[in-house]
Amino acid sequence: MSNNSRKKSKHSEVFEPFNLVVFGGDGDLALRKIYPALFHRQIDGQLLCDYNVIAITRKNPSETTFYSELVRFLKESTEDSEIDFEIDEFIKKVKLISAPEASVEGYFELSAFLNSFPNFQNIYYFSTPSSAFGPIAQALKSSGLVKKSSKVVLEKPLGYSLESSKSINEDITKAFNEKQIYRIDHYLGKETVQNLMVLRFANNLFERAWDSEHIDNIQITVSESLGVEKRAAYYDNSGALLDMVQNHLLQLLCLVAMEPPHTLEADEVRNEKLKVLRSMRLFTKKSVLTDTVKGQYSRGIVKGVEVQSYLEDIKKFNSKTETFVAIKAYVDNWRWKEVPFYLRTGKRMLKRYSEIVINFKEVRHNIFPSKEKLNNNKLIIRLQPEERIELVQMTKIPGPGGYRYKPIALKLDFLDSFKERFPEAYERLIIDVIRGNQTLFMRQDELEAAWTWIESITSNWKAAGMNNILYEAGTWGPGDDIMDEESTWITKTWKES
Ligand code: BG6
């Protein structure tokens, strides 16, 4: 890309110079998401400051392999082909350091490098398994590398239970305080997710009808056509509930359900989200059986290609891990009394899409002579693959013949309305870390409240002896035929939305 071909950011900001130190620096997430995110902010002209990127690896990789991989991922992150100059400039800022062990000795080279930039803020990005977080934090502290201006970014999974999440936090807080900790949930960095705040709190129209008096149910769906890819070991320890619901779907639910915060200040927003999480109805041995479903994919056809079963994918034939989960959840507070929130996510589904559907109640009384069914209004917030908002409303069919009507959607397509490239979630989040804004990051108490609710499911799945229902890859998941009357809501509403 030539220097001028991409529209420069209207929002260039002068940040303090920084060192971004990425642990797990040659890993998939770093190469696929973290470096390209910074690179795009750079070429958009938003990063008007000095900075270095330090990739820390435990291995002893060849520099040539690392840099050629990095170039490949940077190239893949853009459709622009004339981008070599920008890539060369960016690569000059990236340094690879091998630190096989987390200790003062192991971090000797890192210390020497960081100390040669005494006026830079140090941002440590832990993109490693969470078991390594404590030792890395301790080694950084012992090496004198944690200063008041330092920050730490933590990638999920932040534990596998309430207890393990607390223990990770204890380890981290021995070196960093809460104001320095950025727990990433990349869903909060998505444009359409942030737009939820604007939609709700900058439009009087919706807020007036945003409660149990007007809303019948809310559905939050994240459907993926991919399987577990190369993450078998991680995924088999998590499953759909921990991998997706504990973080992404619950965060979406919080943004839909929370009260208007006083301001956008980080703790104001996080306090409101926390109240929602603490109001969520805990499951019992009885309610997990009627209000949750878990499934695992078997062989099938996805986008015309035959794919293996989950068990074949992970090469472990006794795994009980769920790759699909559907939950009917309730937020027990004044606003949401008895409004079901349907949360659903699965791997190897028919197609990839994420959306939030707000289903309003039907009108109280039908005045029209035909008495044809009046469909309820729906507000559909499509997060991906397209980003759009639809408001489905009943409309008169033009012409004679009395009042005939049908549901028509008013559509706002983001791409059509804002003809700009949307930054990736990680771009927004990394910039927020640099600028020191914690609004889009989770606080420990939020995490603990989420874990308490999640554990009411996992412990009762165990107590009730609940098994996975097998579903064919490339379908919508467990079907009505294997569900009892009470549970048909799960597939019925899934297919309709
Ligand atoms: C990650 C999960 O957090 O989110 C993955 O670990 C999942 O399993 C991914 O595929 C989905 O993210 P996105 O942005 O593609 O919807």
Among 370, 321, 392, 432, residue whose Cα is nearest residue 13:
432
Q: CATH 3.30.360.10 residue ranges in the chain?
A: 188-424+444-496
Mutation probe of ligand 1 site: the residue of 34, 186, 237 with most atoms within 8 A of C-beta = 186
Task: Quote the pLDDT of residue 230.
Answer: 85
Determine contact, residues 172/137, Cβ cutoff 8 Å. Answer: yes
CB 120 within 8 A of CB 50: yes
Distance from Cα 358 to the centre of ligand 1, integer Å: 23
- The CB density around residue 23, as the number of other CB atoms within 10 Å, is 26
* Residue 51, strand partner residues: 18
Q: Please, where in the chain does CATH 3.40.50.720 lie? A: 3-183
Residue 273 tokens, joined = 């989200």
pLDDT along the chain (497 residues), means of 10: 49 85 96 96 90 94 91 92 91 95 96 96 96 96 97 94 96 97 95 90 91 95 92 93 97 97 96 98 94 95 96 95 96 97 94 92 88 86 90 89 87 77 90 95 97 98 95 85 50 55
Q: Is 248 a catalytic residue?
A: yes
Q: Which atom of ligand 1 is nearest to the CA of 384?
A: 16
Cα of 450 to ligand 1 centre, how many Å?
Answer: 18
With a 6 Å cutoff on the Cβ, whether 185 touches ligand 1 is: no
Which of the residues 11, 186, 248, 262 is marked catalytic?
248
The CATH number corresponding to 188-424+444-496 among 3.30.70.920, 3.40.50.920, 3.20.20.70, 3.30.360.10 equals 3.30.360.10
Closest residue (by CA) to atom 13 of ligand 1? 187
Ligand 1 center to residue 161 CA distance, Å? 19
pTM, entire model:
0.92
Ligand 1 closest atom vs CA 235: 8
- Residue 243 Cβ inside 6 Å of ligand 1? The answer reads yes
CB 348 within 8 A of CB 227: yes
Q: What angle do CA 283, 461, 485 make, to 5 degrees?
A: 75
Q: How much distance in Å is there from the Cα of 237 to the middle of ligand 1?
A: 16
Residue of 235, 236, 244 to test ligand 1 pocket, by largest number of atoms within 8 Å of CB: 244
Q: Are 425 and 186 in contact (CB under 8 A)?
A: yes
Quote the pLDDT of residue 48.
84
Cα of first residue to Cα of last residue in the chain, in angstroms, is 41
What kind of architecture, by CATH, is found in domain 3-183? 3-Layer(aba) Sandwich (3.40)
Q: Does the C-beta of 424 come closer than 6 Å to ligand 1?
A: no
Question: Which is nearest to 56 in space by CA: 117, 121, 103, 120?
Answer: 103
399, two tokens: 């012409």
d(CA 191, CA 211): 24
Half-sphere exposure of 104 (CA within 13 A, CB side): 4
Which DSSP state fits 337? Answer: T
Q: Is residue 157 reached through a cis peptide bond, with omega within 30 degrees of 0 on the bond before it?
A: yes
Residue the block writes with tokens 């002893």: 60
- Distance separating alpha carbons of residues 198 and 277, to the nearest angstrom: 21
- Secondary structure (3-state) at 75: helix
CB 56 within 8 Å of CB 91: no
Give the model confidence (pLDDT) of 355-386 as tens digits. 999 999 999 888 888 777 888 899 999 998 88
Predicted pLDDT at 403: 86
- The CA distance from 257 to 334, in Å, is 11
pLDDT, residue 1, reads 40
Classify 409 in phi/psi space as left (phi over 0), alpha (psi -120 to 50) or beta: beta
